[in-house]
Amino acid sequence: QVTAKTAFLFILPQYNVSVPTAEGELVQYHYGLKDLVTILFYIFIAITLHAVVQEYALDKINRRLHLSKVKHSKFNESGQLVAFHLTSLIWCLYVVVTEGYISNPRSLWENYPHVYLPFQVKFFYLCQLAYWLHALPELYFQKVRKEEIPRQLRCIMLYLVHIAGAYLLNLTRLGLILLLLQYLAEFFFHMAQLVYFTDENNEKLFNVWAVVFVVTRLFTLTLYILVIGFGLPRVESQALDPERGNLFSFLFNNILFRMSVLLLVCLFQASVMWRFIHFQLRRWREYWKEQSSRKRAAATAATRQQTKPLKRDSGYHENGVVKAENGTSPRTKKLKSP
C-alpha cells in the first residue's frame, strides 16, 4: 500500500476536498506543490506519445514525400502540433460544454476566485502544462536547427505563461475558453502547412486559417475586456488564503493590477495582429510576383513562337543551291539570243 500511495501521487491530481452542495458533497481540487510531481509524470507520458506519433505516422509520410531538410523539420513540427491541437480542442470543448461555461458566460467571473476545480478541469491543466514542458527537451531530441530554437522557445514560453497564469490566478474558466479559441486557429494553421508540403499549389486552407485567426483574435480580446475589465470589478475577491490554495487572487482587488493586465493583453493582441497582417501582405506580394513572372514567361514564349522563321522554299539545298524535288533548279533558264 505504500507504493500505491506513491503511485497515486504521480498519476492522480492531489489536494482533493469535499465541498458541500445542495445535492450533497462534491469532490473538488485546488493546487499545490504536489502538482509538480504529477506534471513530471505526465511529461514522460508526453515524450513517449511524441515518439509514437513521430515513428509510426510522420516518419512514414516523410519517406514518401522526400522533403528537404528545412521542410522535413517544419513538417514534423506541424504534424506533432496538429495531433496535439486536435486532441486538446476536442477535450477542451467537452470540458467547457459539460461544465456549462459556454451556456452561462457569467460563470466566467461569478463566485471568483474559482479556487476549487472539478477533476476534469484540473487534470486538463496539468496535462497541458506537462505537454508544453515536454516540448523543451524535445528541442534536443528532435535536433531542431539553431535558427529555429528561439522561435519555438518563444512559443513554448507564451503557452506556459498563459496556462500557468490562468491556473495560479484561479482564472481557469476564462483560460479554458481562450485555449479553445487559440487551439482552433493553430489547428487550421498547421493543417494548412501539412497540405502545403504535400501540394505547394494548394493554399486554400491558409485562407480558411486567416478568417478563423481574425475571428478568434476578436473573441479573445472581447473576453479579456468583458471578464477582467467589467466582470471581476463587480466581484469581491477574497483575501490571501494559502490553506484553500488561494495565493494570488487577491491581486485582482487592486484596480491598478487589473488595468495593467488588461493593457498588456491588448498590447500583445495588437502585436499578434500586426505580425499576422505583415505575414499576409508578404504572402500576397509573393503570390502576385509569381503570377506576374508566369505571365511574362508565357508572353515571351508566345513572342518567340510568332517570330520563328518560316520555311518557304519547297526544294532542298545542295552546295548552296536550291534544288527542286526532281533535282532541277527552280530558276528559269535564260535563252541565249541567236
Strands 24-29 and 316-318: unpaired
Distances (CA, A) of 11 to 120, 127, 235, 247: 14, 11, 35, 24
Closest CA to 95 of 77, 118, 76: 118
Buried b (16+ CB within 10 A) or exposed e, 182-205: bbbbbbbbbbbbbbbbeeeeeeeb
Residue 253 has φ and ψ, to the nearest 5°, of -70, -25
Mean pLDDT, 10 residues at a time, over the chain (338 residues)? 74 84 81 92 94 90 82 88 96 94 88 88 96 92 85 93 91 93 94 86 84 93 88 72 65 80 88 88 80 79 70 51 51 49
C-alpha cell at 115: 479556487
Q: Residue 215 and residue 333: Cα distance in Å, rounded?
A: 87
The angle at the Cα of 202, spanning 201 to 208, to the nearest 5 degrees, equals: 145
Bridge partners (DSSP) of residue 19 are 26
Q: Residue 96 and residue 107: Cα distance in Å, rounded?
A: 11
Long-range Cβ contact pairs of 72-75 (< 8 A, separation 24 or more): 73/142, 73/144, 73/145, 73/148, 74/193, 74/197, 75/193, 75/194, 75/197
249, 115 in Cβ contact below 8 A? yes
Q: Residue 148 and residue 152: Cα distance in Å, rounded?
A: 6
Q: Which residues contact 91 (CB under 8 A, 6 or more apart)?
A: 124
Residue reference for cell 501540394: 199
CA neighbours closer than 13 Å in the CB half-sphere of residue 122: 22
Secondary structure (DSSP) of 157-192: HHHHHHHHHHHHTT-HHHHHHHHHHHHHHHHHHHHH
